[in-house]
Structure 1
Amino acid sequence: MPPIADILFFVALLAIAGAVAGLLAGVFGIGGGAVLVPVFYQVFGYAGIPEDVIMHLAVGTSTALIVPTSIRSFRAHEKRGAIDKDLLKGWVIAVPLGALLATVVAAYVSSEGLRLFFAVMGLVLAARMLFLSNRFHLGTDLPGQPFRFITGTAIGLFSGLMGFGGGVFNNTFMTLYGRPIHQAVATSSGVGVLISIPAFFGFIFAGWGEAGLPPFSTGYVNWIAFAVIFPIAMLVTPYGAQLAHRLNKKQLEMGFAVFLLFVSARFFWSLYG
């Protein structure tokens, strides 16, 4: 057990991280994974956690935080009747399958591999926001099977590897096929539930008994980080949302794209700098 001063320093860093993550999540309208994973990576590094488990711990703990927030969001959107439940029913197997595959892959991939994947996908998502107009469509309705099943599995896999709730990928998929952004966002809350629950248990199993994990960790989920981040992020997120309403959609997309570019550059620097 490390000295109490070290634990308190770790908690203080996490409190700051929770405030930053909650604010940015509110500004950009995302579940927080895109913000939390790089923030966790930075904080865990400052806390002296071994490099070879930092990224796995960041993704696993982010996934744990998505479980309660995605369930809460799903219930709120369900009351408004904005969710495409037919799509979710068709993904009950596909999305969790992809999320579980992500934890299997993560168990065998190095920290460097996870950082490289996050950095590359961050660049792809940023490029999409910067250069692809929302008027760009691949079709007028969602594709049928088996393409839809394969897409759901891919969303679960990519989101699980990045510690995302699936919103970024599902929003892209649905809007590319002509669905309104509000319906896409609402449906993404259900996708987050389908991803986060199996991925949560998967990351616990994948990291069980792993050397170098900080105190109060169950597999790749750190409960100190969870306990500190969750209430602070929930408290601060509405203020970020208020700030978001002062910006137009293009400004928000540009801001999030710049943030993703910064995060990608940070990970590339950690790999090759």
Structure 2
Amino acid sequence: MDLGTLLTLLGVAVAAGIAGGILAGLLGVGGGIVIVPALYFALSLTGMEPGLTMQLAVGTSLATIVFTSLSSARGHYKRGAIDAGLLRLWAPSILVGVVLGSFTGGLIDGRILIGVFAAVAAVVALDMVLRGRKGEVAPKGFSKPAWAGFGVFAGSVSSMMGIGGGTVCVPLLNFLGYDIRRAVGTSAAIGFVIGLPGAVIYMLTGLGAEGLPPFSLGYVNLVAVAVIIPLTTTFAGVGVRLAHSIPQRALRLSFGLFLALTSARMLWDLAGAVA
């Protein structure tokens, strides 16, 4: 990796850290929805194979989410926006999903991860922008097996996308009847459950992989992690304050529009990767 490419990677990491931190607090997404495409773009400048680039971006993102989610969750907890009962109910099944999704993501062709990322982001964006909410919201009743199924799905998709869970969990919880701010706060805490085991598995499955940039531990680049974590944890507090000061409809629209743009960019990258 030459000096120019290294400086570009560091610059992108700084921008992704700031934006990812704000969005982590604002939307409960762990920042991965910004960090993954940003790192993918920066790492692609090194000439790495697209599939390997995506796996490295996902693994590195999950490592940063471990710390970002803690910072974001702390802010939401102080404002009473985390449902502890839901965390106890959902965390075990989410962990199962993370293990399944992380091993799958670390072993399959990375281009499949690009497709998963783009498709899920597009569906969620349409849901958040087009679906309205009328009247008061109240959590819907589901059996524990149903909640377990939701958790395995959320954990699997999130770990394959390299995100903290908010991209999947926020709209899912909102659809199930949870207030959008409570969904955001709880999803921020769920990010830790996804990030820690996910990052460890991507490290292990990437050990010995050829073509990785310097200072990579498996599919986690330690340089990018060191740059991003201080920024995301610092700026997560800014996002938390925004989440509790803007209208709920504006929060849903901002989430949906951002995901739509992200999905479009990733689909463009996927088309180039398979051409």
TM-score (norm 2): 0.86
- The 1:7/1:38 distance shift into structure 2, 3 A limit, reads closer
Equivalent residue for 1:64?
63
Q: How does 1:5-84 map to 2 (within 5 A)?
A: 6-25=5-24, 28=27, 30-84=29-83
Alignment RMSD (CA, Å)? 2.8
Matched, 1:216 2:215: yes
Residue 126 of structure 2 corresponds to: 127
Query: Take 2:46 and 2:16, find their aligned partners in 1: how far apart are those partners?
Result: 13
Moved more, 184-193 or 135-144: 135-144
* Equivalent AA in structure 2 for residue 205 of structure 1: L
Identity across matched positions, percent: 36
Q: Is the 8 A contact 2:24 2:69 kept in 1?
A: no
CA separation in 1, counterparts of 2:234 and 2:172? 30
Change (3 A) 1:148 1:235: closer
SS in 1 for 2:144: coil
How big is the shift at 1:3?
5.0
Question: Partner letter of residue 190 of structure 2?
Answer: V
Cα distance in 2 between the residues matched to 1:129 and 1:74:
22
Residue 166 of structure 2 contacts residue 188 of structure 2 at CA under 8 Å; is this kept in 1? yes
Cα 1:29–1:81, aligned 2, differ >3 Å: closer, same or farther? closer
What is the rounded CA distance, in whole Å, between the counterparts of 1:248 and 1:79 in structure 2?
20
Looking at structure 1, the residues matched to 158 and 96 of structure 2 have their Cα atoms a distance apart, in angstroms, of 12
Could you tell me which residue of structure 2 aligns to residue 146 of structure 1? 145
- 2:92: which partner in 1? 93
Residues 141-150 or 226-235, more deviating: 226-235
Tell me which residue corresponds to 1:108.
107
The match for 1:259 is 258
| Unaligned stretches of 5+ residues in structure 1 | none
- Name the counterpart of 1:228: 227
Report how far residue 28 of structure 1 moved: 4.8
- Aligned to 2:91, the other structure's residue is in SS state coil
Change (3 A) 1:46 1:239: farther
For structure 2, the residue ranges without an aligned partner over 5 or more in a row are none
Q: Which residue of 1 aligns with 2:185?
A: 186
Paired residue type of 2:127:
R
Deviations, residues 12-35 of structure 1 (Å, cap 9, x unaligned)? 332233334345555655321111
Indicate yes or no: 2:159 matched with 1:160.
Answer: yes
C-alpha distance in 1 between matches for 2:269 and 2:4: 28
Using the TM superposition, give the Cα deviation of residue 158 of structure 1 relative to its aligned residue in structure 2, in angstroms: 0.9
Q: Does the Cα contact within 8 Å between 1:21 and 1:39 map onto a contact in 2?
A: no
Q: Distance in 1 between matches of 2:243 and 2:87?
A: 28
CA distance in structure 2 between the partners assigned to 1:242 and 1:190 by the alignment: 16
The answer to which of 187-196 and 242-251 deviates more is 242-251
| Corresponding residue of 1:269 | 268
Residue 271 of structure 1: CA displacement?
2.4
CA distance in 2 between partners of 1:187 and 1:237 (Å): 15
1:236-247 correspondence to structure 2 within 5 Å: 236-238=235-237
Which amino acid in 1 is paired with 2:195? Answer: S
Deviation at 1:95, TM superposition (A): 0.7
